[in-house]
Structures are given as structure tokens and as C-alpha cells.
A = this chain, B = another copy of it.
């Protein structure tokens, strides 16, 4: 594995030099006002990236999984009802966490490759007359399948059913890369991490709570201390954490947020769409299919690519690493061996993407797949060359 090549895993992403340097700061006293000058811009910047006016933002020294646990343990009690769709490994894991925390989860099994079905949510919610369902879970972007779901539609389902359940959204691989509208979609808890759209090392769970979610914390019976949002809020009010904060990572987050907001969120999203579209053109030129079943669910942060029957897609990932020093993502769970994944989020340029596509082609040819060298690259080039300029500069 060469450290020189960019990575094409769906997170952690490539890191811009300046952001990496910002993480790498000398020790400061985390009880001094300097820390406040890092903390508060982080909270405000995350709120802007979530497109929220008033969400309560919490940052934990953990990962997205810790963010999920924060969401559940601060708002729910054992036995509470949860409604969730399972359409990939990450929605599966969140469901599994609910079960391990004694929640009563109703699972909408959804084919891996499809987005979550808002109509099924609505149907079930309408049937839940006693409002046993306290929380609806939705995975905005299934990292395992490269599938984006329509969160606004889930909100409409809740509203149509006049159901008071909270809406929790896993935005780990979407927030900061794809459009996310906390307020407009009526999200109650949004969860993400540092290592995707924020282009940082793993190590921060980043969550936003609505007022309604904050109210739910009052009666939540699940135990929690490390992930307690009230301890955190009390800390923030004193420019502090309830324990030692990850100062360097947060200093990096501060710069990451400045960078994203300076580029402009819509430009950031457009850049992700452009790079992703180039990848999709390449996939088509290779004669392959995405795991994602239709354009409206195509993810702009990761593409899961199906390989032909009888071929082990994981071999592509292994050979790319061993022979070409390049990292792609394997298939997980139900689609293990059936797909390989190209991450195309975070700090990336069209030029970098071409190197990823170029290596993928070489590997597929090496392994005997009927793919033409240069074909996917050419398809991406044709697309990219019409949209380069601004975004590449902005990503500098």
C-alpha cells in the first residue's frame, strides 16, 4: 500500500494538508478560553452545514456509532418502539444497536440497493394508534450500497400519519457532501462523524438535536454518562467538555467548516455530484451496474458497483491494494463479494478521480473482466472536462 496514492474508500477520506495540520496542534490548556474559541465556531459551523437555525449541536470524542448511541440513549427508555428500514449494512447496525439497548424495533426489510420506502413508513405509522413508536430511524445515505434515501419523504410520511415520533437520521456519509436540511425536513436527531464530508481523521461523533429531541431527554430511561447531552451542554456553557476534549481534532473541524462554508455548501454538493457523475459514466462504459437501482437513489459520496455473477468483487479490492497500492471498499453483508465500492467524497479532484478509475480498470482487466482499458476514464473525462474550473479551484 502506497501512502502516495489517494484513497477511494467511502471514508475516512483524503485530508487537505491545511486541515490535517490544524489537527496537529501542540497541547493547550483545554480549560482556557482558547478552547472556547475553537469549540463555539465548531458548533455554529456544524449547525450551518446541517442547514438548521437552532439545532443543539454536540460533539463527542467517538465515531458515528457513538453518535447513534447518543441519539438513542438520550431520548429513549427500554421497551420503547422504534421503526426502521434495513437496506444495507449501516442501517442494519443501527437496528442491531437498538435491539441491544432493549428497544422494540419494527424493521422494514428493504432490498439492498433500494432507498427506504416512505410509503411503508406511513402505513406502519398510521397503524400505530397508541404511538408506541417513539422514534423513526432513517439512513440518509447507505454507505454499503451507495444508496441515498429521501428524508423529506419520510418526514411527509410522519406528517401524513400525524404521528409524533421523532425522526432520527444517519447522515454519516452524506452530511458535508450532500444536501442535508435539518430544519426543512424536520429532523430531530442528525448523526455524523468527522471522517467523511469533514475530511478529518475519525474520532468525532457529531450530532444535532431538535428542541423536541431535547425534550425527550427529560424522560429517557436508558443509562448514559459518556454520551449524555446535558453534561455536554453544561460543559459547553463553560467553554469546556465534561471530560477532556479532543482539542486538535476540533481545531481541524473548525478549519474544515470554514473551508466548506467558504467554498459554499451548494458548490461543495455540486462538486460531489460532478465527481460522482463521472464515476457513474465510467461504470456504464465498463458495462457494469450500480448496486443502487435507479438514478434518484444514486449516492454522490460512494458508488457500489456490481460485478458479474460468479466473480468475487472483493478480488478487485485486494488486487488494487496489493498490486497498485490503491484502496477501494469491499462489499459488506448481503452484498459481500457482489460489489466493490468507490468512495468519492471529501477532498478530491477530477484528476484524482481519474487515477482511481484508471486503476480500477487495470485491475478488472487483470482479473479477466470484459472491460476495456481507458473506457471508463474516457467517459469520466468527457464529463469532467465540461465542468472543471471553479470547483477544482475551490477545492484547493
Contacts and interface: CB of A to CB of B under 8 A. Distances in A.
A63 to B, nearest CB: 5
Given A27-B12, A193-B244, A195-B244, A62 B61 contact: yes
A325 interface: yes
A6 B347 CA distance: 13
A362 interface: yes
Nearest to A243: B65
Q: How many copies altogether?
A: 4
Contacts of A154: none
Interface in A359-374: 359, 361-362, 365-366, 372-374
Interface residues of A, number: 106
A28 interface: yes
B377 A382 contact: no
Nearest to A100: B225
Contacts of A29: 1, 7, 9, 321, 327
A99 to B, nearest CB: 10
A201 interface: yes
A24 B20 contact: yes
Interface in A1-40: 1-7, 9, 11-18, 20-21, 23-34
Contacts of A47: none
A53 interface: no
Interface centre among A224, A355, A373 (most CB of B within 10 A): A355
Interface stretch (A110-118, A157-165, A384-392): A384-392
B354 A325 contact: no
A336 interface: no
A214 interface: no
A323 B223 contact: no
B374 A248 contact: no
Given A327-B32, A350-B324, A381-B373, A14 B2 contact: no
A contact patch SS? loop
Given A203-B203, A384-B362, A225 B101 contact: yes
Contact of A26 (B3, B249, B326, B381): B3
A1 B29 CA distance: 9
B28 A61 contact: no
A41 interface: no
B327 A28 contact: yes
Contacts of A374: 374-375, 377-379, 381
A1 B25 CA distance: 14
A393 to B, nearest CB: 7
A223 B227 CA distance: 13
Contact of A351 (B15, B26, B358): B358
A107 interface: no
A378 B373 contact: yes
A387 to B, nearest CB: 10
A242 B396 contact: no
A248 B24 CA distance: 11
27 contacts: A3-B16, A3-B396, A4-B347, A9-B31, A12-B244, A17-B25, A21-B24, A61-B63, A61-B66, A61-B203, A62-B62, A62-B66, A65-B225, A193-B244, A202-B244, A202-B245, A202-B246, A324-B349, A324-B388, A324-B392, A351-B359, A354-B377, A362-B385, A362-B388, A374-B374, A374-B379, A377-B377
Nearest 10 Cβ contacts at the A-B interface: A374-B378, A29-B327, A354-B358, A374-B374, A355-B355, A202-B244, A65-B243, A24-B24, A101-B223, A373-B378
Given A62-B226, A325-B392, 17 more contacts: A1-B28, A2-B351, A3-B26, A5-B349, A21-B24, A29-B327, A32-B327, A65-B225, A68-B226, A78-B223, A222-B223, A226-B227, A324-B392, A326-B351, A351-B359, A354-B354, A374-B379
